Amino acid sequence: MRETEDRLRGLMVHALAGDVAAYHALLEEAAAHLRGFFRRRLPRAPEEVEDLVQETLLAIHNKRHTYDAREPLTPWLYAIARYKLIDSLRRAHSHEAIDASDHDWEASSSLADDEASVVRRDLHKLLDGLPERQRLPIVYVKIEGLSVAEAARRTGMSDSAIKVGVHRGLKALARRIRESP
Amino acid sequence: MKTQELITLLANGASAVPAHTPARRLAVATGIGIACAAIAMLGLLGPNPELARNLQYPMFWLKLGFTAATAAVALFSIARLSRPGVRWSHARWMLGAPVLFVWLVALVTLADAAPVERVALVLGATWRTCALNIAALSVPLLVAILWTVKTLAPTRLRIAGAVGGCAAGALAAFVYAFHCPELEAPFLGTWYVLGILIPTVVGALIGPRALNW
């Protein structure tokens, strides 16, 4: 527990300083923790677990400026996960009560990770709905891995327009994911 | 979409994030809100012509101190409530401390006064407009503060809305104090508190919708 906290926090501190590899590792480990967290609480709705994992990862990304390196990281992570869980239950008017007990763990863990990680949404379909000034920066910088300057050259947009486009685009994406059924 | 894809998408080209972003954003929002409220106060109400003379009365400073202390505690609280997983409840009682102090002074004042004077001490000359003026001046502050809190990550939306409204109300009352001619604690403890409570209740009512992210 203590060990996990220290490791994740170390990764997050590096990630906030701009270390992409540390950030990637952090998100991967966070995804595994989140999967367990949501499975325990939604034992009868395994198909919703991966949706929530993705929604929470996007929220972690879009709200990472609210993490203060002087505070522990795991309470921050789980507070976001809990917020997203309650929010989704409220939106869905779910008939399923939150199951706070940890006993139903086995019922859902039979679902293989690979199976679970494919969800109904298609990234490219979601991206197609974005305006070009957000879609292109995300495709070039985030998917193709170009630098901001290269993306700016290719699109004829300014550097700051690319950065703003990525930022707003990811926020719009988070909104779309929330609103998709 | 695979979760793996999403993770790569998010991590790719992720830039560094400056530290202390929440505090900086709240400071900017508060500054803008105070400036708007001050301009509205000077333009629509005007400063108190007796202001220079009032500086020598301790009650004037109690008025400023009470509103500033309430605003400080509320801003400290909203900064904590805007960050997930950060405890705030242990600071809850501090929000009421400045009010309790003013009520204590008010009780002493009322106990000292002759019974016929007591109603006048509570009503002053401006009781009809005081709370409404404070609530009106709090509008730009409430908008600026809630707007900023939404860009952060509050997880208890009704409480965050209420505390944000309390900060807006206390700052508006601070600005209003430069217009207000009243210098009695019973007046302060009634109408200023009511003026701060109005945006607090508004914040609590709109919080769950306005702050959702």
CATH code assigned at A49: 1.10.1740
- Residues A31, A87 share a domain: yes
Same domain as A55, residue A89: yes
The half-sphere exposure of A154 on its side-chain side, counting CA atoms within 13 A, is: 15
Under an 8 A CB cutoff, do A65 and B17 touch? yes
- What angle in degrees, to the nearest 10, is found between the helix axes of B58-81 and B157-176? 160
Q: How many domains does chain A have?
A: 2
Give the separation between CA B10 and CA A89, rounded to whole angstroms: 25
Q: Indicate the SS3 state at residue A42.
A: coil
> Which helix (H) or strand (E) element contains residue B162?
helix B157-176
Question: What is the pLDDT confidence band of residue A111, given thresholds at 50, 70 and 90?
Answer: very low
Q: How far is B163 from chain A (nearest CA, A)?
A: 18
Per-residue pLDDT at A20 exceeds 70: yes
Q: Please identify which residue in the block is written with the tokens 């996960």.
A: A81
Whether residue A172 has pLDDT greater than 90: no
Answer yes or no: is B65 within a domain: yes
For the entire predicted model, the pTM comes to 0.81
- Percent of residues, chain A, with pLDDT higher than 90: 36
Chain A residue with CA closest to B20: the answer is A68
Residue of B nearest to A174 (CA): B213
pLDDT given at position A181: 52
Chain B CB within 8 Å of residue A105 CB:
no
The answer to whether the CB atoms of A66 and B3 lie below 8 A apart is: no
pLDDT over threshold 90, residue A132: no
Q: Does one domain contain both A95 and A26? A: yes
- Does the beta-carbon distance from A77 to B85 stay under 8 Å? yes
Cβ distance of A66 and B18 shorter than 8 Å: no
Domain count, chain B: 1
Which residues, in sequence order, are CB contacts of A165 under 8 Å at separation 6+?
A: A133, A134, A136, A137, A138, A157
Q: How far apart are CA B128 and CA B58, in angstroms?
A: 24
Q: B66 in a domain, yes or no?
A: yes
Tell me which residues of chain A, numbers 146 to 175, contact chain B at a CB-CB cutoff of 8 Å: 147-148, 163, 166, 170
β-sheet bridge partners, residue B2: A118
A–B interface: beta-carbon pairs under 8 A:
119
Q: Is residue B173 part of a domain?
A: yes
Give the distance from residue A94's alpha carbon to the nearest chain B alpha carbon, in angstroms: 19
Do A16 and A105 sit in the same domain of this protein? yes
Within this chain, do residues A145 and A173 fall inside the same structural domain, yes or no? yes
**A113 pLDDT exceeds 70?**
no
Contacts of A170 in chain B (CB under 8 A): 10
Residues A20-48 have a mean pLDDT of 91
B171-202: pLDDT as tens digits: 999 999 999 999 999 999 999 999 999 999 99
Examine the fold and report which residue of A76, A93, A117 is the final residue of a domain before the chain moves on. Answer: A117
Question: Considering the domain boundaries, does residue B6 fall inside one?
Answer: no
If asked whether residues A113 and A127 sit together in one domain, one would say no
Instruction: Give me the residues of chain B with pLDDT under 70, please.
Output: 1
B154 assigned to some structural domain: yes
Position A166 scores a pLDDT of 84
Query: What is the predicted ipTM?
Result: 0.88
Domain, as residue range, for A89: 2-117
> Residue B87's domain spans which residues?
24-210
Q: Is residue B187 part of a domain?
A: yes
| Whether residues A69 and A97 fall in one domain | yes
Identify whether B119 is part of a domain: yes
Taking the CB of residue A14, how many other CB atoms lie within 10 A of it? 16
- A20 and B13 within 8 Å at the Cβ level: the answer is yes
Q: Does pLDDT of A160 surpass 80? A: yes
Contacts of range A7-14, beta carbons closer than 8 Å, 24 or more positions apart: A8/A73, A8/A74, A8/A77, A9/A69, A9/A72, A9/A73, A12/A64, A12/A67, A12/A69, A12/A73, A13/A69
Instruction: Identify the CATH number of the domain in which residue A142 sits.
Output: 1.10.10.10
Cβ within 8 Å, pair B85-A58? no
Interface residue A29 vs chain B (CB under 8 A): no
Q: Are residues A142 and A98 in the same domain?
A: no
Reported as a single tens digit per residue, the pLDDT across A35-93 is: 999 999 988 888 889 989 999 999 999 999 999 988 999 999 999 999 999 988 887 76
Distance from CA of B2 to the nearest CA of A (A): 5
Identify whether B55 is part of a domain: yes
